[in-house]
């Protein structure tokens, strides 16, 4: 981010529309030292904020109740709505071609019907539980990944090099005493269509004058951008690959961080979620692009890499009245990278019959997401089950780390 560029165009209309504009130029860099260890694993965590619909990303096409619940947007094995083949029971969303290839190469793993212990439906609280690693909502200001780094032996390369938080602010999962550096891709600040829609909706109900003005302002912006209609969803699919590329380059530096967290917004698909194409498809394609970017940038280091993709909760099994889905419970997590023992789907499938759904509406959780996180941290970063059960995920003693997730 070129701060001086920003300062020199204080009155320019381009400031709002063009690239690189930020009210706040921002960057901070870590303290780094030297020396080298033997193993050099790399670990990325991608948090999908807004609750990703696992039943769309990895669709249980062989479940007899799936097609009816997802009428109009269900994926199929064959035909126009065909997903990419996985194991016969599930298909992958067709937007995720890179993951499909990596799955075939046994470097992509799907964990389905997984959820944190959180069973309410607030994004904030759900993300808190996901990131603090606690059994429930609590006022804790540190994240499980930071505590994991803190628990590693002090002299080792990985904790010494610290972690990278991609975004304007350090995500909660990475907050704590272990050193964290931050970096943000330039255009990150422009993904606000979803916010605009929410504010406009609020104004429409509460303040017609503000609604008229905002609506006109948004329309003017569209015209300025070449008349393209406002994309139907939040988030910025193209940004995901850019953010991942930038993060990967920093992680490839000799003294760069080996652990990183990226947050992608826009997954709260209450309306017009789409099927093979549409809002969610664009987001999944963006996520897929992030995988491809990391693989490309890492080169040789890819073989020691694991990328964990998690979201705060899933979405309702049945689509709602606005061609979307509402806040739910269980969903998928992805684990991808050269170090992953992939080509598998881990799922104790609960089924989609009404009596099997959580609260009669959500895919029931049969895997505790903490078991996935603990499994990766144990095998990839070498943390002991005791440390994981106390310092990193307090109160998770009964949740056993999933074995054999990574090589």
Q: Which stretch binds other proteins (CB under 8 A): 9-17, 54-62, 279-287, 384-392?
A: 9-17
Binding mask 251-270 for other proteins (x = CB under 8 A): ------------x-xxxx--
Identified binder of other proteins from the candidate list 115, 140, 158, 172, rule CB under 8 A:
172
Per CB under 8 A, 220 contacts other proteins = yes
Cβ nearer to other proteins, comparing 203 with 302: 203
Enumerate residues 187-206 that contact other proteins by CB under 8 A: 189, 192, 194-196, 198-199, 201-203, 205-206
Query: What is the nearest approach in angstroms of other proteins to the Cβ of residue 226?
Result: 17
- The span from the CA of 102 to the CA of 75, in Å, is 20
Cα-to-chain-centroid distance, residue 169:
16
Per CB under 8 A, 177 contacts other proteins = no
Instruction: Return all residues near 170 (Cβ < 8 A) that are at least 6 apart.
Output: 180, 182
Per CB under 8 A, 229 contacts other proteins = no
Answer yes or no: are the C-beta atoms of 220 and 168 closer than 8 Å.
no
Widest Cα–Cα separation across the chain:
64
Q: List C-alpha distances in Å: 197 to 204, 233, 341.
A: 10, 9, 41
* Region class of 393: left (phi > 0), else alpha (psi between -120 and 50), else beta: beta
Per CB under 8 A, 29 contacts other proteins = no
- The span from the CA of 94 to the CA of 228, in Å, is 25
Answer yes or no: are the C-beta atoms of 314 and 330 closer than 8 Å.
yes
End-to-end CA distance of the chain: 38
Cβ nearer to other proteins, comparing 22 with 305: 22
Nearest to 162 by CA among 271, 28, 66, 49: 28
Cβ nearer to other proteins, comparing 154 with 205: 205
CA atoms within 13 A on the CB side of 371: 18
Query: What is the nearest approach in angstroms of other proteins to the Cβ of residue 32?
Result: 23
Query: What is the nearest approach in angstroms of other proteins to the Cβ of residue 7?
Result: 5
Nearest to 88 by CA among 124, 58, 67, 125: 58
Binding mask 103-122 for other proteins (x = CB under 8 A): -------------------x
Per CB under 8 A, 230 contacts other proteins = no
Range list of β-strands (E), 116-230: 163-166, 180-183
Per CB under 8 A, 222 contacts other proteins = no
Per CB under 8 A, 23 contacts other proteins = yes
Instruction: Return all residues near 369 (Cβ < 8 A) that are at least 6 apart.
Output: 111, 114, 115, 116, 130, 310, 333
Per CB under 8 A, 36 contacts other proteins = no
How many residues in the shown chain lie near other proteins by CB under 8 A?
A: 56
Cβ nearer to other proteins, comparing 268 with 368: 268
Cβ nearer to other proteins, comparing 62 with 168: 168
Per CB under 8 A, 170 contacts other proteins = yes
- The span from the CA of 107 to the CA of 158, in Å, is 23
Per CB under 8 A, 171 contacts other proteins = yes
Per CB under 8 A, 62 contacts other proteins = no
Enumerate residues 119-138 that contact other proteins by CB under 8 A: 122-124, 127
- The span from the CA of 19 to the CA of 401, in Å, is 44
Helix, strand, or coil (residue 212): helix
Per CB under 8 A, 26 contacts other proteins = yes
By CB under 8 A, name the binding residues for other proteins.
Answer: 3-4, 6-7, 10-11, 15-16, 22-26, 49-50, 122-124, 127, 141, 167-172, 189, 192, 194-196, 198-199, 201-203, 205-207, 209-210, 213-221, 234, 263, 265-268
């Amino acid at each position: 981010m070129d701060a001086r560029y920003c300062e020199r165009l204080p009155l320019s209309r381009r400031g709002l529309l063009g690239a690189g504009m930020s009210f706040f130029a921002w960057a901070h860099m870590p303290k780094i030292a030297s020396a080298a260890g033997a193993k050099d694993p790399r670990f990325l965590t991608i948090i999908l904020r807004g609750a990703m619909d696992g039943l769309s990303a990895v669709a249980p096409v062989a479940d007899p109740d799936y097609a009816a619940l997802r009428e109009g947007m269900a994926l199929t094995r064959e035909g126009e709505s065909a997903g990419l083949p996985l194991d016969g029971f599930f298909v992958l969303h067709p937007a995720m071609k890179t993951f499909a290839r990596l799955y075939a190469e046994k470097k992509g793993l799907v964990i389905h019907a997984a959820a944190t212990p959180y069973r309410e439906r607030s994004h904030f609280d759900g993300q808190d539980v996901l990131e603090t690693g606690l059994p429930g909502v609590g006022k804790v200001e540190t994240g499980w990944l930071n505590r994991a780094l803190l628990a590693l032996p002090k002299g080792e390369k990985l904790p010494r090099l610290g972690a990278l938080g991609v975004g304007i602010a350090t995500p909660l999962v990475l907050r704590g005493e272990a050193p964290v550096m931050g970096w943000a891709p330039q255009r990150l600040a422009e993904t606000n269509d979803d916010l605009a829609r929410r504010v406009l909706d609020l104004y429409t109900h509460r303040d017609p004058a503000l609604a008229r003005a905002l609506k006109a302002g948004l329309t003017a912006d569209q015209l300025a951008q070449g008349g393209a209609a406002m994309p139907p969803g939040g988030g910025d699919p193209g940004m995901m690959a850019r953010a991942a590329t930038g993060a990967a380059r920093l992680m490839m530096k000799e003294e760069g961080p080996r652990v990183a967290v990226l947050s992608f917004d826009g997954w709260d698909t209450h309306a017009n979620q789409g099927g093979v194409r549409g809002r969610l498809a664009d987001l999944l394609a963006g996520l897929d692009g992030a995988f491809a970017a990391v693989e490309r940038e890492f080169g040789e280091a890819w073989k020691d890499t694991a990328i964990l993709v998690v979201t705060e909760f899933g979405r309702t099994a049945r689509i709602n009245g606005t061609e979307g889905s509402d806040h739910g419970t269980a969903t998928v997590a992805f684990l991808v990278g050269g170090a992953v023992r992939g080509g598998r789907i881990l799922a104790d499938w609960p089924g989609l019959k009404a009596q099997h759904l959580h609260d009669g509406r959500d895919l029931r959780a049969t895997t505790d997401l903490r078991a996935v996180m603990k499994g990766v941290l144990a095998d990839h970063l070498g943390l002991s089950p005791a440390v994981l059960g106390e310092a990193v995920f307090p109160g998770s003693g009964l949740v056993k780390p999933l074995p054999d997730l990574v090589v």
